[in-house]
Chains A and B, each alone.
Chain A
């Protein structure tokens, strides 16, 4: 695992993105969180090799994906060699079998920018693949349905590029994992849901570290995002948003794993144990999810 300066990477990505596209890409995931919480600290680091950029809105994602990819390739960025995709995609390759756009910055293979798309409006499927054709071949822009909430009211970095709010990334992870699934990450035994739900706890802990009352604002923001992005089903989504987290807090081994994974990434150096993350989880359940669930239970006045 490598460590990179969150601020430095954000700056490099921002400067590389063509100006005309800069307002239509939102940095999500580790870099967004690390920049938000540690960006002002020159020693603030991310411990990941992938930087996730979500092209938003979906309507212009294909066009912008092509523009950005071409411009980065012209500027010396290189396609990441990926063992999963030995050959470049062509017109006959199905969308979901195309390689993903992963680009290393010039002369540096320590990290790469991975381009994805915001989900199509009203999408009902968990993951969508869309084709981007470039001079280097065809690629896939994938989008996760619940990452739609990360498009809500993004924050602007000092370099002009947008990044997702921590609470919206937390909500996306909760919606994505209504239970602890068996899917593991790569060759490890780490469960994907433990990583992502652990991330929710890490984001809540770091938010409260920055401002002890930060969680007080989350319920209204979450509700507004759900109502806007999922107007017909926000109540059901709100009512079940906490299900995966409840499971995580009830299952010692999963919580232990979530803690261990978090301690290698966003919570590195904080020396937090499962008990502390459990307590943070209780705050999220009682102070954020419970008001949201109450709102979901309330009869519609419409």
Chain B
């Protein structure tokens, strides 16, 4: 499936499509090698299980160059057994054409494949809405950090939005905006009213996916964090109680109720396949579920403002961490942390 959230309720991998019960097809989009390799391995597992089937990995909307793709093919040839390889192809959608499609699959297969791609692409491109509040959250984070005033262009770059979006936000925040003579801007103080509005609209401002354990053996946040740190992903940061304790060691809370991760996806497509690597027993929480074991906050702005923290995962920024505490219904601790942050600005 194209960059869609990990399908955790399924027992195990099944290809996106199976043509005439003979050819398994996996569709992958985007330009990440991780996605390509994941698709490659998934199909390889499948072909090992299904010795009478062939497999085609189809890359769509891919910016991976032919040279890079050939290199990946060579790596696969070195890694995989010949009896799997001879049944395996990688095809790339280039405009209306497919490069690398086995010739005997050209005629009837092609329209079927196009339908499959259209279906899979629809599934995956359920895009997140661009948050109108991202500019405000960046301004607030910079204020907590006591940074200098910012230009509109800088804000546009940090958020990844247009001039009108920044200008509109600055107009809305006018009472709490301090403008310099060079037209750069910063917050003049803590914008309490705007913050209350943000917290009240948390679900819109800060999309969160919650996961619960289904095995009856909930893994600890520490254990999940260890596994997340081992993934080597650059788009993840730890937030919530763990990050809050880093920024404010006096936080009044015993234990860590859940793991909060911030997933940076500026291209608006959230690849949640890593959740399965943290714990395959996790499933998306339903309405009747108890407290989540894992919360993933989707951060869409261009600059994540992650804060490096030794060899482990970086930390989510202060504002995101604060929002994590609200999302976890730790209102007392959120207030305490907020007071600390505001007090630190002086």
Contact = CB atoms under 8 A, between A and B. Distances in A.
A279 to B, nearest CB: 4
Contact of B281 (A235, A246, A280, A297): A280
A283 B81 contact: no
Interface residues of A, number: 34
B12 A246 contact: yes
B214 interface: yes
Contact of B216 (A249, A272, A281, A287): A272
Interface string B20-58: 000000000000000000000100110011000000000
Contact of A298 (B8, B49, B80, B217): B80
B295 to A, nearest CB: 19
A278 B49 contact: no
Nearest to B82: A299
A278 B214 contact: yes
Contact of B11 (A213, A235, A275, A278): A278
B8 A282 contact: yes
Interface string B202-244: 0000000000011111011001000000000000000000000
A293 interface: yes
B223 A212 contact: yes
Contacts of B223: 212-213
A128 interface: no
Contacts, number: 81
Query: Looking at chain B, what size class is its interface with the partner chain?
Result: 20 to 34
B244 to A, nearest CB: 24
B79 interface: yes
A290 interface: yes
A202 to B, nearest CB: 12
Contacts of A278: 11, 214
A246 B41 CA distance: 18
Given A208-B217, A272-B216, A276-B214, A298 B280 contact: no
Interface in A195-221: 205, 208-209, 212-213
Nearest to B214: A279
B217 A205 contact: yes
A209 B217 CA distance: 7
A239 B216 contact: no
Contact of A287 (B11, B280, B283): B280
A299 B78 contact: yes
Contacts of A283: 215, 279-281
A183 interface: no
Nearest to A299: B81
A286 B280 contact: yes
A284 to B, nearest CB: 9
B11 A285 contact: yes
A223 to B, nearest CB: 15
A208 B213 CA distance: 14
Contacts of B81: 235, 297-300
15 contacts: A208-B215, A212-B220, A235-B81, A243-B49, A246-B11, A249-B12, A279-B215, A279-B216, A281-B11, A286-B276, A290-B45, A293-B45, A293-B48, A296-B48, A300-B81
Interface of A: 205, 208-209, 212-213, 235, 239-240, 242-243, 246, 249-250, 270, 272, 275-276, 278-283, 285-287, 290, 293-294, 296-300
Given A212-B223, A213-B223, A297-B44, 18 more contacts: A208-B217, A212-B220, A235-B81, A243-B49, A249-B11, A250-B11, A278-B214, A279-B213, A281-B11, A282-B11, A282-B12, A282-B281, A283-B279, A283-B281, A286-B12, A287-B280, A298-B79, A298-B81
